[in-house]
């Protein structure tokens, strides 16, 4: 009995030592030994042990200590089941130990629950990571799309800017010697190759084709520049009449605009004339070029005529804008049926002609002079100067038709602007007559100050009122 109890007293330390050494099977055997000593299987031994324990209370504390150690051991086994890197053999050993310690428990189900919670947490973490990464990806995609859009816009703006810059550079340098020098160099190369027997005929033909194409493109660009420059110089009207020497003793009092237009046409047509003459020399060697030269000559003729028509259209627009300005000025001044503003604009110390309206009439006269100069002098002079460029393949009727069209266009425009000027003058005379008749005390040149109809009418009304009063008074006496 004492030996058995002595063994029982040492069980807590023995079991704890076995667990610390990893001898789990030995710890389980010691625990079973403790249970077999304290709790015999037969009822008489159990009653005897109970009686003995009641007498020796210290044994109860020993058993509690053993159960505490084994409970810690079970918790350690359960905790080890949560290790994600647990080996399968170790898992089987832990399940076996738990079943031996507590047969009524289900360690496999507990392990499955642990793995379920672990897998669920991993899936939740994976889901949250996936959502975070997708959010980051969407943000990157949005940023990338915005960046791509900005980059595309920058490329488009850069392309437009570069094209505009090169176009402006091209237009501003079209009269420089770059293209002309290049064409001359190509012509020299053609002549050099033609003089050599070793030159391949195909290379000579290709070089001649290049020479013709570049010359044609340059001529067409000059035609385009001539028309475009006509539109650009149009807003440069200064409304200052030129002197007789500046306008080459022309009887027309013109402004600088027709001379600027003339300079533009001459600059382009002189170069076109030289280029076409060089192409005509090629027709002696290559007959198939003559048809293409006729097309170029027709394009030059149309560009020349359209430049004049465009300039005439701009002069017409100037006259229309001046007439519209006059109409707006005349529609504003009426106030309560009186002509106060008209009197302010028209009544001046030198005869009733205000500065704005006199400037308007002067501008209309300048427009008329510009139209007459273009019709009678500029169009005839330039057409006769450059008609040899395109008239080799045209008969006399076609030659005269171009000038008739130009003269007809400028004549119709001249009649229209002259009608506007006549209408403006008639309105000015009408307004002046109204002021002369209805306003008194206005000095007109060296004439004496006149007394308007308005004051004479008021004096007449006074006389009529007085006569009416006397008649009324006499009628009272007659009735009596």
Of all residues in the chain, what percent carry a pLDDT higher than 90?
7
Q: What confidence tens digit (pLDDT) does each residue in 411-466 have?
A: 888 888 888 878 877 777 777 666 666 655 555 555 555 555 666 666 777 777 87
Q: Quick check: 338 pLDDT over 50?
A: no
Residues 438 and 453: beta-carbon distance below 8 Å: yes
Check residue 44 and give its pLDDT. Answer: 45
Domains of the chain, residue spans: 2-105, 173-449, 450-480
Please report the DSSP string for 374-432 in residue order.
IIIIIHHHHHHHHGGGTGGG--HHHHHHHHHHHHHHHHHHHHHHHHHHHHHHHHHHHHH
Check residue 167 and give its pLDDT. Answer: 64
pTM: 0.53
Rounded mean pLDDT, 28-55: 56
Distance between CA atoms of 326 and 319, rounded to whole angstroms?
11
> Which of 272, 223, 288, 252 is CA-nearest to residue 367?
252
Rounded mean pLDDT, 144-167: 80
Check residue 123 and give its pLDDT. Answer: 92
Distance between CA atoms of 209 and 191, rounded to whole angstroms?
13
Q: What confidence tens digit (pLDDT) does each residue in 3-28 have?
A: 655 666 677 777 777 777 777 777 77
List the single range of 41-45, 69-73, 267-271, 379-383 with lowest mean pLDDT. Answer: 41-45
Residues 38 and 49: beta-carbon distance below 8 Å: yes
Residues 346 and 435: beta-carbon distance below 8 Å: yes
Distance between CA atoms of 216 and 296, rounded to whole angstroms?
7
Residues 92 and 108: beta-carbon distance below 8 Å: no
Rounded mean pLDDT, 353-376: 74
Most confident segment among 124-133, 183-192, 384-393, 395-404: 124-133
Q: What confidence tens digit (pLDDT) does each residue in 102-138 have?
A: 777 788 888 888 888 888 999 999 999 999 999 999 9
Check residue 337 and give its pLDDT. Answer: 40
Distance between CA atoms of 256 and 410, rounded to whole angstroms?
18
> Which of 79, 109, 81 is CA-nearest to residue 93?
81
| Distance in angstroms between the alpha carbons of the first and the last residue of the chain | 177
282 HSE (CA, 13 A, CB side): 27
Distance between CA atoms of 370 and 255, rounded to whole angstroms?
7
Rounded mean pLDDT, 150-166: 77
Rounded mean pLDDT, 161-175: 66
Distance between CA atoms of 182 and 68, rounded to whole angstroms?
108
User: For residues 285 and 12, which has the higher predicted lDDT (pLDDT)?
Assistant: 12
List the single range of 356-360, 361-365, 373-377, 403-407 with lowest mean pLDDT. Answer: 356-360
Check residue 452 and give its pLDDT. Answer: 57
Rounded mean pLDDT, 212-230: 86
């Amino acid at each position: 009995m004492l030996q058995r109890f002595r063994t029982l007293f040492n069980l807590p330390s023995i079991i704890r030592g076995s667990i610390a050494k990893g001898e789990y099977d030995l710890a389980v055997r010691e625990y079973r030994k403790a249970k077999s000593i304290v709790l015999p299987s037969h009822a008489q031994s159990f009653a005897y042990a109970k009686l003995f324990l009641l007498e020796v209370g210290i044994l109860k504390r020993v058993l509690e200590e053993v159960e505490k150690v084994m409970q810690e051991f079970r918790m350690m086994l359960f905790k080890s089941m949560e290790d994600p890197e647990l080996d399968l053999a170790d898992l089987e050993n832990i399940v076996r130990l738990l079943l031996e310690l507590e047969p009524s428990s289900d360690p496999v189900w507990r392990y499955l629950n642990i793995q379920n919670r672990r897998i669920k947490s991993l899936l939740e973490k994976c889901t949250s990571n996936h959502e975070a990464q997708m959010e980051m990806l969407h943000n990157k995609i949005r940023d990338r799309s915005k960046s791509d859009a900005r980059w595309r816009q920058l490329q488009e703006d850069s392309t437009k800017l570069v094209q505009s810059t090169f176009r402006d550079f091209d237009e501003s340098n079209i009269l420089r010697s770059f293209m002309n020098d290049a064409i001359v160099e190509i012509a020299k190369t053609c002549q050099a190759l033609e003089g050599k027997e070793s030159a391949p005929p195909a290379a000579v033909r290709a070089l001649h084709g290049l020479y013709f194409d570049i010359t044609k493109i340059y001529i067409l660009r000059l035609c385009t520049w001539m028309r475009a420059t006509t539109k650009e110089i149009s807003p440069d009207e200064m409304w200052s009449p030129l002197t007789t020497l500046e306008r080459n003793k022309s009887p027309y009092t013109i402004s600088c605009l027709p001379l600027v237009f003339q300079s533009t046409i001459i600059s382009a047509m002189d170069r076109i004339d030289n280029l076409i003459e060089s192409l005509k020399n090629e027709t002696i060697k290559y007959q198939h070029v003559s048809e293409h030269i006729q097309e170029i000559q027709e394009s030059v003729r149309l560009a020349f005529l359209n430049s004049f028509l465009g300039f005439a259209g701009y002069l017409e627009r100037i006259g229309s804008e001046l007439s519209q300005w006059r109409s707006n000025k005349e529609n504003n001044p009426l106030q309560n049926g009186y002509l106060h503003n008209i009197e302010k604009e028209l009544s001046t110390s030198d005869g009733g002609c205000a500065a704005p309206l006199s400037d308007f009439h002067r501008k209309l006269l300048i427009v008329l002079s510009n139209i007459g100069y273009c019709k009678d002098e500029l169009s005839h002079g330039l057409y006769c100067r450059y008609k040899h460029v395109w008239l080799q393949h045209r008969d006399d009727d076609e030659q005269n038709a171009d000038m008739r069209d130009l003269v007809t266009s400028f004549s119709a425009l001249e009649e229209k602007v002259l009608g506007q000027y006549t209408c403006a003058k008639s309105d000015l005379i009408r307004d002046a007559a109204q002021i002369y008749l209805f306003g008194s005390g206005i000095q007109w040149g060296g004439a004496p100050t006149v007394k308007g109809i308005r004051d004479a009418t008021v004096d007449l009304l006074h006389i009529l009122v007085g006569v009416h009063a006397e008649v009324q008074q006499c009628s009272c006496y007659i009735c009596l």
